[in-house]
Structure 1
Amino acid sequence: MSRFLHRLAVFSARHRALVIGGWLVVLAALLVVSHQAGTKYSSSSTVDGSDSAAATELMERSFSAELADTSPIVFHTEEGSITDPEHRATVEASLHALSQDSDVASVTDSFAEGSATVSADGTTAYANLVPAEPLGDLSVEEAEAILDTATEPAEGTEVEVAAGGQLGTKVSKPETATSELVGILAAMLILVLVFGTITAMALPIASAIVGLMAGLSIVSLLGHAIAVPDVAPTIATMIGLGVGIDYALFIVTRARSARHEGRSVHDAIGHAAATSGSAVAFAGGTVVIALLALAVSGLSFITVLGQAAAIVVVVAVLASMTLLPALLSLCGDGIEKLRIGRDRRPTLGHSAVWQQWGERLARRPRLYAATSVLVLIGLSVPVLSLGLGLTDQSSAPESTSSRQAYDQLTESFGAGANAPLLVTVDLGSEPATGPDDPRLAQLHGGLSAADGVQAVGMPQLSQDGTAALMNVIPAGSPTSDVTKDLVDEVRDATIPASGLDAHVGGSTAQQLDLAELIGDRLPLIIGVVVALSVLLLMIAFRTVVAPLQAALVNLLAVGAAYGIVTAVFQEGIGITAIGLDGAIPIVSYVPMMMFAILFGLSMDYQVFLLSRVREEVDAGRSPRQAVIDGLAGTGKVIVSAGAIMVAVFASFVLNGDPTVKEFGVGLASAILIAVGMVVILLPAVMLLMGRRTWWLPGWLDRILPHLDVEGGSASEADEVAEKSRETVSA
C-alpha cells in the first residue's frame, strides 16, 4: 500500500495543475447536477416486517400511498374566534388555494358539519392535508411551496398558519450553515496554533471543504435513487468535515517534517503519503467498514444512514491522497509563509513535552490505568437507565412551523392531536356493509375503551369495502409512555379481541417500532463492529493483544459517551445550556449510529499511536522506550486532530434539531474521551504488557494477510523515492 500511495502522491504533486483542475471540474459538475436535480430526502422510518409497516402496506394497497403522510394545517387567531366571518373567510381562502395545488391530493374542510377540528375556545382550527405524492418524493422546496400556498391568503390578517405532521417536519429542518462555519473557524484556529503558519492551515481546510462538497453532492443525488433519511446530510457533514481536516492534518504534518529534515518537496510529499497516508487510508477504511457494518441491523433507515456517511469519508480520503499532495506541491516552500510565532517544525516529529509525558506515564502505568478505568466507569453509570425513544416537535425551535403547529394543537386539542395512530383493517373477501358494519363497530368500541385514548374517528372504507381505516387520537404526546402503552394494548389485546386482521400504523407507531427493533439489534451491531475492528488491527499490526487493548479502550470510551448523552438529554443535566427547554428522550438510532461512528473514528487515533510504537519496536527500541517515543512522535498531532474533531462536533450543538444536538454532544464528548484514553490508558496498558503487546501465534501469523500501515513503511517509501530520483537523473 505504501508504494502505491507514494506513487499516487508524487504523480499528483508533479501534475498538480491536472489534479487540481480535475477536482474542480468534477466538483463543479456534481454541484450543478445536484442543484438541478434538487434535494429529495425521506422523513419515513418504516421498519420492514413490523406491524406499522403492515399498516402502511394496507393503506397503500387499499387507500393511497400518500395517506400515511397526512399532515395538519393549523389556523390560529388571538383576536376573537376562528369562526368569525373575517377569520373564516381567510381559512376558507387558504383551503381553497390548497385544493387547487397540484401537489395536494385533498384537504378537509375545517368547518364541515360534524367536524371536530375547531377547538372548544374557538381560537384554533385545523385541516388534514393529503399530498399528491409521498412527502419523501417531494423536495424541500416543493414542500415549502405547499406551505406558502396555505399562508399567502393569511398574509396581513390576524390568522396564523402553520404546518404540522410530516409536512411541518419537512419544512422545519434548521439550517446547518452556522454550525459548519463555527466548526471550520475553530478548526482553523487550532491548525494555526499547531502549524504556526496561515498557509499551512489553509491546505487541510481547502482539501476538507472540497471533499465535503463533493461527497454531499453525491449523497444528494443518491436521494433520487433510494430513500435517504433527511438527517443523513447533517450527519455526513459532521463526519466528513471532521475526518477531512484530521486526515489532511496528519499528512501535512509529516510532509513539513520531512521537508524540514532536508528532503525535496516531492520526496517529502511522497514520504508523507507512504507513511501517514497509509495510516490515513487504513483509518478511513476502518471508519467506512464500521459505517457499512450497520447493514447487519436489517433496517434500511440505518443502513442508508451509514452508507451516506461512508460516501463522504471515502471522498475525504481520496481528497487527502490526491488533491492535498497537489496543493502541497503548488505551495512548495511557500507553505512556511505567513508565519505566526516561532518555527514549530522541529516539534512536529518529536515533541519534548510528550516525551516527558511518556516518561511520567512509564513510571506509574498501573496508577494511570486504574484511574482512567475508574473515571470511565463512573461516567458510564447513567447508561444503566438509558431508554430509547423518539422526539417530537415540542423540542424544535419556536420559530419553526412544526413547533408552532405542535403548540397550537396541544393547547387547543391536547398533546395527542400530534400523535395520531392509524389503525387499518383488512376485511378480506367479506366487504364491510358500511361504516357501521358490526365487525368494525366492535373494534371501534374496543379502541374507544382502551386506556389512554382521547378519541376514535369513524371508520373510513376503501372503494371496494375490503379495508377500513380508523384514526385514533391518544391522550398523551408522541413521546409519552401513555402513547407507547396504548399502542402495546391495542396490538396485544384490543385487536386480538376483535378477531380482525388489523394493524397500528402512522409515524408515531413507526418510531416506536424502530426504537424497539434498534434496542434488539444494538448488541449485534456492537459485536460486529468490534470484531471487524479487532480483525483489521490484527492484520495491520501482526498482534492479538494490541487490538484487544484498543477495543477495550474504545468500548470504555463509548460507554462513557453514552453515559454523558443519557445524563444530559434523558436526565436533563445542563440541558438548558444547549438550547433545550427540558429533558428529551434519546432518539432510537442515535446510540447505534454513535457506536459505529465513534468506534471507527477513535480507532484512527489508536492506529496512529500503534503504528508509531510498532515502528519504534521494529527499529530496535525496548517496549518501554517504544511507547515513550511513540507518544513523543504522535501525541501532539493526535491531540490536535482530536481537538479539531471535538470542535467540529460540538459546533453542531448550535443546530436547532434536538437529534442533531444529541449527535453533537455524544460525538464531541466521545472523541474527547477517546483521545484522552489514547494518550493515557492505551499506552499505560501497553507499558504494563511489555513485549506481550506484540504477541501473535505462529499459526495465526501464517493465515493472516499482510498489510502495511505507517509502521514499517517508511523504509519502503525511501526506497521508492530513491529509485524515482535515480530514474529522473538517468
Structure 2
Amino acid sequence: MATLLYRLGRAAFRRRGRVVAVWLLLLGLLGGAAAAFSGTMTDDFTMPGTESQRAMDALERDFPQASGAAGTVVVAAPEGETLEPADLAPLVREAAAIPGVVTAMDPFATGAVSDDGRYALIQTQFESATADITQEQTDAFQRVGADADGLRVEHGGEVVTAQAGVHAGATEVIGVLVAAVVLVLTFGSLVAAGMTLLNALIGVGVGMAGLFALSGSVELSSTAPILALMLGLAVGIDYSLFLASRYRQLLTEGVDPEEAAGRATGTAGSAVVFAGATVVIALSGLSVVGIPFLTVMGLAAAATVAVAVVVALTLLPAMLGYAGDRVLPRARRGGSADAGAKARAHAADAAGGAETGGGADAVGGAETRGGADADADARQRHGRGAGFAWGRLVTRLRLPLLLVGVAGLGLLALPMQDMRLALPDASTAAEDSPERGAYDLTTEGFGPGFNARLVAVVTGDTPEATARAAEEAAGVIDATEGVVTVTPPQPNETGTTALLNVTPATGPTDAATEDTVHALRDQVADIEGADIALTGTTAVGIDVSEKLADALPVYLLLVVGLSFFLLMLVFRSVLVPLKAAVGFLLTVGATFGLTVAVFQEGHLAELVGLDTTGPLVSFLPILLIGILFGLAMDYEVFLVSRMREDYVHGHAPRQAAINGLGHNGRVVTAAAVIMISVFAGFALADDPIIKSIGFALAVGVLIDAFVVRMTLVPATMALLGRAAWWLPRPLDRALPDLDVEGERLQRELAATRTE
C-alpha cells in the first residue's frame, strides 16, 4: 500500500494543476446538484419491527385521516380568568382553514379544557405526514391566534418541528478558528496552516454538497448533515496535518519536493488510510443495528470521512507543489539543502534499519518531527523536549500512573450505571422555541402527561369484533395504574379499525411513563378478537431506545473485536491490541459517565449552556462508540508505530516507549487539540442533540488522547517490556503484511539510492 500511495503522491504533485482543477470542478458540480436536488430533512424516527411502528403502518393503511401530522394550539387566559367558547371559536376556525388540515377540534366539544377553565388545547390533524408538511403550512399554523388579544397562545406538535431542522451556527466557527491557531503554532507558517485548513474545508465542502444532493432521494434526519460536518472537519484537518508535517520534515532533510511529497504520502498517507478506514468501517457498521435513520447517519458520516481521506492523499500533495518551501517557517526557507546535509548520517542510519525490517520512519514519528521548528528538531534528535521528558516520567512511574489512571477513569464512569436513553422531545428544546413554549404551557395547565399522549390502535376482521375489543380495551386501559384518561373508541369508515387516545400521568421521558407503556401492552395482550397495538410519539421513543439499548453490547463487542484484529495486523502483536481494546473501553466508560453527569444529572450544565436536563439521546451511546473507535485507533497507530520502529532497531522497550512520545507527542497533541476544538464548538450549539454529541466527542478525544494514549499506553508498554511484541509463530505466518508503516517502501528507496 505504501508504494502505491508513494506513486500517487508524486503523480498528484507533478500534475497539480489538473488535480486542483478536478477537485474544484467536482465541488462546483456537487454544489450545483445540491442546490437543484436537495430535499427536506426530517426528525421522523421509524423503527421497523416494533409494535409502535406496526400500529403506525396500520393507521396509514386503514385510518389515513388519523395518520398525518398533528399540531396543538395551547391557549391560556390571563391569571384569574377563564376561557369561554367565544374566545376559542375564532382560533378553531383559523386552524381549520389552513390548507391540508383535516380537522380542528373545539376544546369545549372534546373536553380539552383544564379543570379551572383557564387552559385549552385545540387539536389539529393534517392530511400529510410530518415529512410532507410544507413551510407554508407550518407558518400558517404558527399564525393561529396571532390576533387573540389578552390570550397567551403557543403552538406545538409535529407540524411545528417539521421544518425546524438543525443548522450550523456561529459557535461551530469557534472550533475552526481555534484549529487555525493550533495549526499556525504547530507549523510556524501561515502558508502551511492555511493550506492545511483550506484542504480540509474543500473536502468538507465536497462531502456536504454530495450529501445534500442526495437528500432529495434519500430521507435524511436533520442531525445527519451536522454529524457529517463535525467529523469531516475534525478528521480532514488532522489527516492533512499528518501529511504536511511529514512533508516538511523531509524538506528539512534536503529531499527534493516532489520526492518528499511522494514519501510523505507513502508513509504518513498509509496511516491516514488505515485511520480513515477504521472510522468508515465503524460508522458503516451502524447499519447492522437495523435502524434506518441510524444507518443513514452512519453512512453519511462515513462518506464524508472517506472523502477527507481521498482529499488528503491527492489534493494536499498537489497544493504542496504550489506552496514550495513556504510551508517552512521564513527563517528556514532556502536552507533545506544545508539541513539535509546535516541530517544525511541520520537518514542513512534509518535506511539501514529499513533493510533489517524496521522502516526508516514509522508513521507517527515521521509526521511529528515535521511539525516542529529547527530547535525542536534538534531537541528531538538528542532526546530532549517536553515529549521526551513526559515519556521518561511516565515510564519511570508506570505502575502508580497505571493504577491512578485506571482508577480515575473507573470513577468517572460510575454515573454511567444510571444512564437513561430516550428520543428528544420538546422539554429539552431551547427555552425560546415555540415547541418548548407549548410544552411548558401544556404542563402548566394539564400536567406533564398531556405531552406524552399515547394511541391504542384496535384492528379487527369485522366491525363487530373491533367494537367489542375496543370497548374492552378502553376499560382495561382506564383501570391501569399511571393512566389519567382514555377517550371512547373512534372507528374508521369501515369500522374495522378504532383509536383510543390515552393520557398517562407522567411526561414523555419519565421512567414511570415507560412502565405505564409496558403495563398497558401486557394488559391488552389478553384481549381476543382483534389486534391491539400501542403507538404515538412517546411509544415510538420508548421502542427506539429499547432496541438501541439491546444493540449496544453487540455493537461494542463488534467494535472491540475489530480493533483487536486490525491492530494485530498492523503491529503483529497480541498484547498491544489487547491493551488498546482495554484503553478504548476505559475511554468509552469515562465519556459516558461524564456525559450522564452533565446532561442527565445536571452537574456543570451551565458550562455548555444546557437549559434542561433529561435522558441522553437514545442513539448517542452507539454513535459515540463508532466514532471514538476510529479516532482512538488513529492515536494508537501514530504513537505505537514509532515505539515498534525503535524497538526493532535495538532500543530497549522502555526507551522505545520514551522515543514514541518524544517524537510523536507534538503532532498527536496538535491533532487532539484540533479535534477537541471542533467538537467543543458544536457542544455550544442550541440543539440539544448536537450539543450532547459535540460534548461527548470532545470529552472522549480529550480522555483518549491525553490520558489513555499518551499516559497509560507508554506506561503499559514499559511495564510489559519485550512481551508487548510477542506473537505466536503460527499467527505470524498466517497474518498478511499490510506495510502500514511503509517499511517495504523504505527498503525500495534505500535500494534505489545505493544503485
Correspondence for 2:103: 107
1:383-411 per-position Cα deviation (integer Å, ceiling 9, x unaligned):
22223234321121122221122122222
Amino acid at match of 1:540: V
Percent of aligned pairs with the same amino acid: 36
TM-score (norm 1): 0.91
Contact 1:42-1:137 at 8 Å conserved across structures: no
1:655 corresponds to 2:680: no
Distance 1:11 1:721, change over 3 A: farther
Between the aligned partners of 1:303 and 1:655, the Cα distance in structure 2 is 24
Contact 1:253-1:348 at 8 Å conserved across structures: no
Q: Which of the numbers 140, 147, 162 marks the counterpart of 2:138?
A: 147
Contact 1:195-1:345 at 8 Å conserved across structures: no
1:511 corresponds to 2:541: yes
Contact 2:34-2:214 at 8 Å conserved across structures: no
Contact 1:41-1:137 at 8 Å conserved across structures: no
1:553-612 per-position Cα deviation (integer Å, ceiling 9, x unaligned):
111111111111121122221123322234311222111111111111111111111222
1:363 corresponds to 2:359: no
1:527 corresponds to 2:557: yes
Contact 1:380-1:561 at 8 Å conserved across structures: yes
Between the aligned partners of 1:531 and 1:374, the Cα distance in structure 2 is 24
Contact 1:68-1:506 at 8 Å conserved across structures: no
Superposition deviation, residue 172 in structure 1: 3.4
Between the aligned partners of 1:450 and 1:484, the Cα distance in structure 2 is 13
Query: What aligned pairs does 1:486-501 form with structure 2 within 5 A after superposition?
Result: 486-497=516-527, 500-501=530-531
Contact 1:199-1:338 at 8 Å conserved across structures: no
Correspondence for 1:135: 130
Q: Which of the numbers 331, 343, 347 marks the counterpart of 2:376?
A: 347
Amino acid at match of 1:45: F
1:11-69 per-position Cα deviation (integer Å, ceiling 9, x unaligned):
22222221112111111221221222233333222222111121112112111287163
- Secondary structure of the residue aligned to 1:283 is helix
Correspondence for 1:208: 200
Superposition deviation, residue 479 in structure 1: 0.8
Distance 1:512 1:225, change over 3 A: same
Contact 2:208-2:225 at 8 Å conserved across structures: yes
The 10-residue stretch of structure 1 (706-715 or 246-255) with the greater mean CA deviation from structure 2: 706-715
Q: Which of the numbers 664, 667, 671 marks the counterpart of 1:634?
A: 664
Contact 1:243-1:316 at 8 Å conserved across structures: yes
Amino acid at match of 1:441: E
Query: What aligned pairs does 1:40-119 form with structure 2 within 5 A after superposition?
Result: 40-64=40-64, 67=67, 69-75=69-75, 78=78, 83=84, 88-89=89-90, 91-92=91-92, 94-98=94-98, 101=99, 104-110=100-106, 114-119=109-114
Between the aligned partners of 2:76 and 2:575, the Cα distance in structure 1 is 65
- Give RMSD over aligned pairs: 2.7
Contact 2:166-2:226 at 8 Å conserved across structures: no
Amino acid at match of 2:279: V
Correspondence for 1:171: 163
Consecutive unaligned residues of structure 2, counting only runs of 5 or more, are 333-370
1:480-533 per-position Cα deviation (integer Å, ceiling 9, x unaligned):
123212111110113424664100111211110111112211110011011111
Distance 1:720 1:280, change over 3 A: farther
Contact 2:386-2:662 at 8 Å conserved across structures: yes
Between the aligned partners of 2:43 and 2:464, the Cα distance in structure 1 is 33
Between the aligned partners of 2:630 and 2:291, the Cα distance in structure 1 is 20
Query: What aligned pairs does 1:397-546 form with structure 2 within 5 A after superposition?
Result: 397-428=430-461, 430-432=462-464, 437-497=467-527, 500-546=530-576
Correspondence for 1:21: 21
Query: What aligned pairs does 1:243-322 form with structure 2 within 5 A after superposition?
Result: 243-322=235-314
Distance 1:352 1:456, change over 3 A: same
Between the aligned partners of 2:318 and 2:398, the Cα distance in structure 1 is 43
Superposition deviation, residue 176 in structure 1: 2.1
Contact 1:56-1:68 at 8 Å conserved across structures: no
1:150-196 per-position Cα deviation (integer Å, ceiling 9, x unaligned):
23465566466544222333333453222321110111121122112
Contact 1:421-1:506 at 8 Å conserved across structures: yes
Amino acid at match of 1:695: W
Amino acid at match of 1:344: D
The 10-residue stretch of structure 1 (58-67 or 675-684) with the greater mean CA deviation from structure 2: 58-67
Distance 1:560 1:442, change over 3 A: same
Contact 2:106-2:122 at 8 Å conserved across structures: yes
1:273-316 per-position Cα deviation (integer Å, ceiling 9, x unaligned):
11111101100101111112222222223222211211111111
Contact 2:68-2:130 at 8 Å conserved across structures: no
- Secondary structure of the residue aligned to 2:228 is helix
Amino acid at match of 1:393: A
Between the aligned partners of 2:298 and 2:66, the Cα distance in structure 1 is 27
Between the aligned partners of 2:426 and 2:635, the Cα distance in structure 1 is 37
Between the aligned partners of 1:713 and 1:279, the Cα distance in structure 2 is 14
Query: What aligned pairs does 1:210-225 form with structure 2 within 5 A after superposition?
Result: 210-225=202-217
Distance 1:28 1:119, change over 3 A: farther
Between the aligned partners of 1:521 and 1:551, the Cα distance in structure 2 is 19
The 10-residue stretch of structure 1 (159-168 or 229-238) with the greater mean CA deviation from structure 2: 159-168
Superposition deviation, residue 242 in structure 1: 0.9
1:199 corresponds to 2:191: yes
Between the aligned partners of 1:693 and 1:419, the Cα distance in structure 2 is 55
Between the aligned partners of 1:310 and 1:721, the Cα distance in structure 2 is 38
Contact 1:200-1:336 at 8 Å conserved across structures: yes
Q: Which of the numbers 605, 616, 620 marks the counterpart of 1:590?
A: 620
1:362-398 per-position Cα deviation (integer Å, ceiling 9, x unaligned):
3232222222112111211222222323432112112
Between the aligned partners of 1:11 and 1:583, the Cα distance in structure 2 is 53
- Secondary structure of the residue aligned to 2:602 is coil
Between the aligned partners of 2:277 and 2:458, the Cα distance in structure 1 is 48
Distance 1:94 1:608, change over 3 A: same
Correspondence for 1:674: 704
1:397-434 per-position Cα deviation (integer Å, ceiling 9, x unaligned):
12222112212222223222221211111112x22489
Amino acid at match of 1:326: A
Between the aligned partners of 2:447 and 2:229, the Cα distance in structure 1 is 37
Contact 2:459-2:532 at 8 Å conserved across structures: yes
Contact 1:425-1:468 at 8 Å conserved across structures: yes
Contact 2:186-2:372 at 8 Å conserved across structures: no
Q: Which of the numbers 693, 697, 709 marks the counterpart of 2:724?
A: 693
- Secondary structure of the residue aligned to 1:679 is helix
Correspondence for 1:38: 38
Amino acid at match of 2:138: L
Between the aligned partners of 1:145 and 1:721, the Cα distance in structure 2 is 69
